[in-house]
Structure 1
Amino acid sequence: MTPTPPRRFFRPQWAGRNYSLLTLATVITNLGSHGALIAAAFAVIDAGGDSGDVGLVAAARTLPLVLFLLIGGAVADRLPRHRVMVAANTLNCLSQAAFAVLVLTGDPTLWQMMVLTALGGTGQAFFAPASEGMLMSSVSGEQAGRAFALYRMAMHGAGIGGAALGGALVAAVGPGWVLAIDAAAFALAGALRAFLDIGHIPRREPGGGMLSDLREGWREFIGRSWLWSIVAQFSVVVAVVGAAEAVYGPLVARDELGGAGPWGLALGAFGAGTVAGAFLMMRWKPRRLLLAGTLCTFPLALPSAALAVPLPVTGLAAVMFVSGAAIEVFGVAWITALHQEIPEEKFSRVSAYDWFGSVAMVPLATALAGPVETAVGRTSALWGCAALVVVVTAAVLFVPEVRTLTRRTTKVAESSPGPAAAARPEPVLVQEQLAEKRDVSGTA
């Protein structure tokens, strides 16, 4: 009788070693970093800062993220991505450790906290494109969407847990120890990422320099109408939704809903919605990826409209849950489309342009939120945010590729998306026939 081999820890066949390491490392860093965001704000307050100082420290993180994203994408496509990720994690670890030491041993000054936070933003600018490129290269085939969905579900779940745990720890032991835990999380995650295997990634030929790499990434980005149009759309969507939720939401909660507690409940409902959306996308494989994702962007107008009314807490929480689930459907469809259409050696540069478009207008929108409220009133400003989301999302549906880009069972990405690529309909027709034969079951 043949002995039964010992059972190993269950892991789906499509979840290879790199994918598993990336997911585990992301869970660890999200547990730490979401708590650290709360800890940083309370560290500023405990040092005698006011709301303006908290905003300055937050802006100090965003500014280098905007400035260095495109360079980070070029570096990640030029060097081994896992080394870029480890270097970025090391910078984050050291900056958070120094922040923790300052908080635990004395009175940190505002400029010190801004500098250390800016170092963390710089690390994120290099990490994000490398991480997304590494994730997309870690999966293949028709299970890619499911893999991205599971990754994002783990990421969001860890973020929710990290925020809850971080808030409790800040109250129990103070912000310094939460910052120290975040530094340790970056160290552990960086160690895991050091073991990523890049043997399957083709060796990159030496390029013509950083500027040449940036130009090549720009050509890849601007040569695909579905890509630049959706990034342009989301530069507006993310900006106005961010302004509504970061500036107007807390004010509406204070004046109409009963304070910070109800607003925290609404934000928690949004987080739960993202997890539910990722779970849905593990089962559902929409055939027209970008059409499904874009249609699910319309619900992002609902939170601003709910705050404008304003709805009671239960209604606001329900709206936030729906919008969280909807944006996750878009997120999984989007990264699946990028994985399918973009050549592997350009993943990180295209991802950098995507990230840049998403965050570049956020500081401007949050800065203008106060003056706009003074000029037209809070209710009108919120209705304006909702209207902008609807208008730019409707506009992007006029781009033919957004409506017609179809999921493929195998990745066939063109190195140059010129007219010749658009003039060949046969592969799309074949893939549509294949898609019709697949079960429509419910898909980072």
Structure 2
Amino acid sequence: MRGVERRSASVFRSPDFLRLWTSTTASGLATWALPFILGLAVLDRSMTAVALGVVLAARTVGFLVAVPVAGVLADRYPRRRIVLWAGLLAAGASPLIALGLGRSTVVMAVAAAVAGAGQGACRPAFQALTAEVVADDRRQEANAAMTLAVRVTTLVAPGLTAVLAVVVDTPALLVATGVLWLAAALLPPRGTARVAVTTARPRFVADFVAGLREARRHPWFLAGLGALTAVIATGYSATGVALPLVSRDRYGTEAVLAAALTAYTLGALVGAVLMARWRPRAQGWVALAGLGAYGVAPVSLLLSVPAPVVVGAYVVAGLGIELFNVPWFTGTQREVEPTMLARVSSLDFLLSYGLAPVGLALIAPAIDHFGARPVLAVCAVVCFAAPAAAALVPSTREFRAPSPGPGGPGR
């Protein structure tokens, strides 16, 4: 296949990367398992559905508050130290969630917010640490391995949680997520970046603004982030609300819902495996085309098509999102100033993940007011149009700004 490079040694032969990958996987497993464990608590009446919503919302708030703070701290201090303290924070909060189960929703919500803060603090630090321990020519493979772990975790966590629930009770499962966070905290290797640890008074706002200036220096990043945010806030949110309704009302079974979500994950797995080796020449345009492919998901829900077509559309959407993710992370790690990488990554997570709940909150009443079809149509147009508009920015072709000269920025 043209554009595919064969490499003799796997990135997993690096002990440092293997430790980082294992740490990331442990944090991902703990993150994805928590909602399912709490869902089991609702089923056995240990907590109410309202309490579940409050606890998960508190975790999201903790995540969003921590992401920008951690981005600044991970550029001021060693990234491994940030992961350590973030993991320990989440590990300590997990038993408190178990302690509050069936006793106090307030305790559970506060503990979940702390766990969410630990999760959010890890994300930009992991991104920056990957750039430290993996050479530039192996980062695409490394990022593909990272996202592959996320997808496998998404696929495995619900079933594994359900199996374990037969053997142990819900509080024990919550404590087990703390053990996973402990592993995530202790496993990462030392980074190689020379981060200046200073005793000067932290200037959070000034440091975060400096990260914004660095992001503005890369037009491809701003264009890609805008497209990603638009797709997640519209297409992802709309299908999250509409897919269960379509599965129930059009097809008369929840099986379509389960099949479509599984198909999305399987498509993403294929995409991650593909991007571990494929080096397209215009990788930015390929990535944006993959992002735009998410639009087939709302289109399949909009049209009266057989159920297998909906499932196939979600395979395409999952494949496309990884065609975007891997080059996106790799380009950010390559192009952004290393001392600013965690802050710029935090901006990425803050907008893309942060606006997802906003999209969900707005889409549901929009469907109630206008109906599912008009809302899905608008969301499909946005999913196709936003990446296409981003591709008009010249530097998005390769997710690389042209260098003004030897040794200049962007190389």
TM-score norm. by structure 1 comes to 0.83
User: Does 2:388 correspond to 1:390?
Assistant: no
The CA deviation at 1:400 is: 1.1
Match of 1:114 among 109, 120, 125: 109
Match of 1:228 among 216, 222, 228: 222
1:49 maps to what in 2?
48
Where do 1:4-403 residues align within 5 Å? 12=10, 15-44=13-42, 46-50=45-49, 52-103=50-101, 107-170=102-165, 173-193=168-188, 196-198=189-191, 200-204=192-196, 206=198, 209-403=203-397
Q: Identify the range of structure 1 (149-158 vs 371-380) with the bigger mean alpha-carbon deviation.
A: 149-158
Distance 1:214 1:174 in 2: 43
Query: Taking structure 1 as reference, are residues 363 and 150 closer, same or farther at Cα in structure 2, changes over 3 Å only?
Result: closer
- Note the residue ranges of structure 2 that are not aligned, 5 or more in a row: 1-7
The answer to whether the 8 A contact 1:271-1:321 is kept is yes
The CA deviation at 1:64 is: 2.5
- Note the residue ranges of structure 1 that are not aligned, 5 or more in a row: 1-9, 407-416, 432-444
Q: CA deviation digits over 1:236-270, x for unaligned, max 9?
A: 11111332233222222222234433312211111
Query: Taking structure 1 as reference, are residues 325 and 425 closer, same or farther at Cα in structure 2, changes over 3 Å only?
Result: farther
Distance 2:374 2:406 in 1: 46
The answer to whether the 8 A contact 2:367-2:375 is kept is yes
The answer to whether the 8 A contact 1:93-1:186 is kept is yes
Distance 2:344 2:94 in 1: 29
The answer to whether the 8 A contact 1:243-1:369 is kept is yes
Query: Taking structure 1 as reference, are residues 84 and 375 closer, same or farther at Cα in structure 2, changes over 3 Å only?
Result: same
1:398 alignment partner, SS class: coil
The answer to whether the 8 A contact 1:102-1:108 is kept is yes
Q: CA RMSD in A?
A: 2.5
The answer to whether the 8 A contact 1:59-1:363 is kept is no
Amino acid at match of 2:193: I
Amino acid at match of 1:270: Y
1:47 alignment partner, SS class: coil
1:361 alignment partner, SS class: helix
Q: Identity across aligned pairs (percent)?
A: 24
Query: Taking structure 1 as reference, are residues 190 and 11 closer, same or farther at Cα in structure 2, changes over 3 Å only?
Result: farther
Whose radius of gyration is greater, 1 or 2? 1
Where do 1:404-419 residues align within 5 Å? 404-405=398-399
The CA deviation at 1:388 is: 1.3
